[in-house]
């Protein structure tokens, strides 16, 4: 935990230091790999540009022609489909990882425990020789999405991510300035002011998956208010380590004009 340290004067014509603003985010911050991979797979699919047909049981292919049995109908509903199975697999795995990462948490020691458990699972599969059936099943698994599926998911997620991270999540934030800590709510134009002498703050242990995918994000707990303190939870602060350094430097410095 860090507490506010004594301030120091800096001589000069004007040494006013910029305020440090801390924005905290909702878990959608960690959803950017989904729209990024979705757009990438859409480009792959558009460049490959094949079609997929649906045929009834008993159909045959002769001289590159699909021949349906008598009474059967050949449908060709899917256009702009990649021949490779990898775009669909990568996109589906990305979706599963993002769902897990934005809802689960493995902090500090638990993160190391999770890595150790994964290593033990890999060793167990090696010892029992279970990788062969896994690889056989993986070769059978094929997911084919056309261009429209990728864009149908990636575009709304991208719009929601941009609006949330750069607009909605910036409605309420914390400002550290000379001798003061302010909590500002842009919607109601409300502001609470506290003396930095009653301030202490602490960074929660890193959730390593979120740290890597969230641009160095972490959680802060800020305590202000003297004998009857108020606690503020600031989740998912981007580059939280750098922010803490700036906060400590700002609280140590007193503006002199």
Domain containing residue 231: CATH number: 2.30.29
The mean pLDDT of 241-247, rounded to a whole number, is: 87
Does any domain span residue 70?
A: no
> How many whole angstroms separate alpha carbon 182 and alpha carbon 184?
6
Domain count of the chain? Answer: 2
The phi and psi torsions of 227 (rounded to 5 degrees) equal -65, -25
What mean pLDDT is reported for the chain?
Answer: 81
Q: Which of 166, 191, 218 is the last residue of a domain?
A: 166
* pTM, entire model: 0.77
Q: Which domain holds residue 210?
A: 2-27+168-254
Considering only residues 113 and 151, tell me which one the structure prediction assigns the higher pLDDT.
151
> How many whole angstroms separate alpha carbon 86 and alpha carbon 41?
9
Considering only residues 153 and 124, tell me which one the structure prediction assigns the higher pLDDT.
153
> Does 6 have pLDDT greater than 60?
no
Same domain for 136 and 238, yes or no, is no
Same domain for 111 and 161, yes or no, is yes
Same domain for 19 and 45, yes or no, is no
> Does 155 have pLDDT greater than 90?
yes
The phi and psi torsions of 36 (rounded to 5 degrees) equal -65, -45
What local confidence, expressed as pLDDT, does residue 45 receive?
Answer: 93
**206-218 pLDDT, tens digit each:** 777 778 888 888 8
Same domain for 41 and 105, yes or no, is yes
CA neighbor of 240 nearest in space, from 256, 218, 225? 218
Q: What is the dihedral of CA 8, 11, 14, 16, to 10 degrees?
A: -10
Residue 4 pLDDT grade (very low, low, confident, very high; cuts 50, 70, 90): low
Contact 21, 177 (CB under 8 A): no
CA neighbor of 147 nearest in space, from 225, 245, 49, 229? 49
> Does 7 have pLDDT greater than 50?
no
CA neighbor of 82 nearest in space, from 148, 154, 36? 148
Express as a percent the part of the chain with pLDDT over 70.
Answer: 84
> How many whole angstroms separate alpha carbon 89 and alpha carbon 81?
13
């Amino acid at each position: 935990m860090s507490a506010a340290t004594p301030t120091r004067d800096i001589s000069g014509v004007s040494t006013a230091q910029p305020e440090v603003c801390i924005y905290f985010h909702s878990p959608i911050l960690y959803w950017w790999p989904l729209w990024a991979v979705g757009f990438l797979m859409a480009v792959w699919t558009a460049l490959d540009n094949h079609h997929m047909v649906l045929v009834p049981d008993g159909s045959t292919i002769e001289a590159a022609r699909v021949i349906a049995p008598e009474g059967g109908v050949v449908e060709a509903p899917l256009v702009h489909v990649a021949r490779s199975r990898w775009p669909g697999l990568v996109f589906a795995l990305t979706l599963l990882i993002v769902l897990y990462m934005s809802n689960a948490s493995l902090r500090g020691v638990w993160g190391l425990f999770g890595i150790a458990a994964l290593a033990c699972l890999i060793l167990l599969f090696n010892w029992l020789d279970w990788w062969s059936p896994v690889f056989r099943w993986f070769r059978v698994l094929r997911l084919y999405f056309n261009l429209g599926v990728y864009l149908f998911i990636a575009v709304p997620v991208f719009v929601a991510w941009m609006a949330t991270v750069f607009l909605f999540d910036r409605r309420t934030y914390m400002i550290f300035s000379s001798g003061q800590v302010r909590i500002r709510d842009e919607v109601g134009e409300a502001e609470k002011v506290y003396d930095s002498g009653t301030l202490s703050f602490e960074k929660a242990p890193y959730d390593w998956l979120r740290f890597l995918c969230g641009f160095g994000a972490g959680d802060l707990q800020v305590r202000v208010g003297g004998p009857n303190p108020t606690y503020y939870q600031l989740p998912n602060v981007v580059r939280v380590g750098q922010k803490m350094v700036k906060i400590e430097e700002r609280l140590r410095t007193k503006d002199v004009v």
